[in-house]
Amino acid sequence: MTTIESNPAVPVPVDPENRRQSGPRRRPMRRHIPTALWIVGILALTAVVLYPLLWMVSASLKPNSEFGSNQGFFPENPTFDNFVKVMQGIAGIPTWKFFLNSLILGVGAVIGTVISSSMAAYAFSRINFRGSKILFAAMIGTLLLPFHVLIIPQYIIFRNLGLIDTFWPLLAGKFLATEAFFVFLMVQFIRNLPRELDEAARIDGCGHGRIFLSITLPLIKPALITSSIFAFIWSWNDFLGPLLYLNSPDKYPLPLALRIFNDQTSTSDYGATIAISVLALLPVMLFFIIFQRFLVDGVATQGLKG
């Protein structure tokens, strides 16, 4: 959808004689930019972009006495005290509990997203059924729908079901494929698979269930991996959902715990607040470093939001 295919048939307004003189296929603009300058520029940019992340790691290692006094980048007396302190928790809840809650929500989001989105994607791309076109258009439409239009009625629904202060409101949408991005990503992937495999399986007597499980799912593994990572990271970072539905601190995932740290201790215990922020980002950054190609390619080809 987002990539422009290079089209050899694009009319080039140049006469054949000039064309022959134009020499090797290099973009002429490149010659004027010396490589060294390019490298310096790109490295400087990298430093600026990554600076906030490096700064937060460095700040988390500063003892509280250095905040305000030591304006430098590096801590004079690096210490892990902030991390030790922050692992003790807040509001009587140990910090590992917040991690556990985030983990449960993240894993639940992955399982729900993979199952429900792949089923919907298979239906949209491989089954011909009445109303499929209009439903597909509706699905694409929800890509552009602001989430805030839905939060009040959704809250009322889950409240009437007695599910406030449980994880269910946060997971239900995942098991019902409400995030259309994942369905769309998988639809695009399935469309590129050869149909002949399906046909062969059908001749061998397989129904849709069998084709989906034995042929489609194994072949769309890269799309499933990309979706899983995004589903996990989005769930891990989600703030509004838990803010709406969770009241008891012992059910809080990390973003809500961070908010307590930020509101209660940011003035008195700056280092601890930064330290828990580092810890909360660590799993996301690890995922990113390991799976960066899946993520960035997913964005490049599908226009997935970040």
Partner 1 sequence: MTTDSAHAPTTHRTAASGTRPADLRRTGTPRRRRPRRDSVAGYVFLSPWLLGFVGLTLGPMLASLYLAFTDYNLFTAPEWTGLDNLTRMANDDRFWGSVKITLIYVLVGTPIKLAAALAVAMLLNYKARGTAFFRSAFYAPSLIGASVSIAIVWRAMFSTDGPVDGTLSLFGITMGGWIGNPSLIMPMMILLAVWQFGAPMVIFLAGLKGVPAELYEAASVDGAKAWRKFISVTIPMLSPVIFFNLLLEMINAFQIFASAYIIGSGTGGPGGATNFYTVYLYTRAFTNNQMGYASAMAWVLLLAVGVLAFILFRTSKNWVHYAGDSK
Q: Which residue has the tokens 């809250």?
A: 155
- Candidates 227, 228, 273, 294: give the one binding partner 1 (CB under 8 A): 273
Instruction: Confirm or reject binding of residue 44 to partner 1 (CB under 8 A).
Output: no
Spell out, one character per residue from 227 to 246, where the chain touches partner 1: x when CB under 8 A holds, - when not: ------x---x-xx--xx--
Residues 185/227, Cβ–Cβ less than 8 Å: yes
Site for partner 1 in 152-191 (CB under 8 A): 152-157, 159, 172-173, 175-178, 183, 187, 191
Instruction: Confirm or reject binding of residue 74 to partner 1 (CB under 8 A).
Output: no
Tokens of 105: 């929500």
Nearer to partner 1, 92 or 137 (CB): 137
Minimum distance of partner 1 from residue 73's CB (angstroms) = 7
Ramachandran angles phi, psi of 3, nearest 5°: -85, 140
Rounded-to-integer distance, Cα 135 and Cα 112, Å: 21
Percentages of the chain per state (helix, strand, coil), in multiples of 5: 70, 0, 30
- Candidates 30, 36, 162, 218: give the one binding partner 1 (CB under 8 A): 30
Total residues at interface with partner 1 (CB under 8 A): 130
Instruction: Confirm or reject binding of residue 215 to partner 1 (CB under 8 A).
Output: no
Tokens of 10: 């694009």
Q: In angstroms, what CA-CA distances link 35 with 47, 145, 166?
A: 18, 44, 56
Nearer to partner 1, 77 or 264 (CB): 264
CA 273 from centre of chain = 24
Site for partner 1 in 116-145 (CB under 8 A): 116-117, 119-120, 122-130, 132-133, 135-139, 142, 144-145
